[in-house]
Amino acid sequence: MNPTRQLCTFRLNDLSFGVAVEQVQEVLRCQPMTRVPLAPAVVRGLINLRGQIVTAFDLHRRLGLTERRADSAPMNVVVRTEDGPVSFLVDEIGDVVEVSADQFETPPNTLRGPARQLIQGAYKLPDQLLLVLDPNVVVRVVGDSTW
């Protein structure tokens, strides 16, 4: 029997992404953000999560995708990382899906740009390709290369 795992899914433009469900703390509608002067462009600001200050990362910018439409408010996927919780700004929230190991493919060697470091691989699902992100790498790469 193939091992399975659950992923919390979300969309950016027309792409589907997933994060291990055990790393997701919560999902929130658009929250007020405080801009951080001199922060990298991928850091959209800070949100107050019931008294805890959480950094909000714009995944459009982090992955080198086209910007979100100005008239659409982002959703927040708050994930736990090695450095504490962070928020990923996404276009829309999907479902929790269960995937099996035989559906997983590692990224091809031809994948270039920021996505190469951030995408662990993809699951081939019947109606979509689900790209898997590692939140620790998303945050660490920002910290190491941009700050």
User: Which DSSP helix (H) or strand (E) runs through 51?
Assistant: none
pLDDT score for 109: 77
Helix, strand, coil share of the chain (percent; to 5): 20, 50, 30
What is the distance between the alpha carbons of residues 79 and 22, in angstroms, rounded to a whole number?
9
Q: What is the pLDDT of residue 63?
A: 87
Q: What is the pLDDT of residue 67?
A: 85
**Residue 112's beta-bridge partner residues?**
none
Rounded CA separation 33/17 (Å): 23
The pTM of the full predicted model, rounded to 2 decimals, is: 0.87
Residue 47: domain span:
4-146
Give the domain CATH number at 68: 2.40.50.180
- For the chain, list residues with pLDDT below 50: 145-147
pLDDT of residue 130: 93
Please give the pLDDT value at position 47. Answer: 95
Give the count of domains, the chain.
Answer: 1
For residue 111, what pLDDT is reported?
74
pLDDT computed for residue 55 by the predictor: 95
Q: Which amino acid is at 20?
A: A
Residues 6+ apart with CB under 8 A from 133: 17, 18, 19, 59, 118, 119, 120
Tokens of 123: 């699951």
Q: How many CB atoms lie within 10 A of CB 12?
A: 22
Q: Quick one: pLDDT at residue 86?
A: 95
For the segment 6-48, what is each residue's pLDDT rounded down to a tens digit? 999 999 998 999 999 999 999 999 889 999 998 888 999 999 9
Q: What does the angle CA 115 – CA 89 – CA 78 come to, to the nearest 5 degrees?
A: 105
Characterize 35-56 residue by residue with b for buried, 16 or more Cβ atoms within 10 angstroms of its Cβ, and e for exposed: eeeeeeebbbbbbebeeeebbb
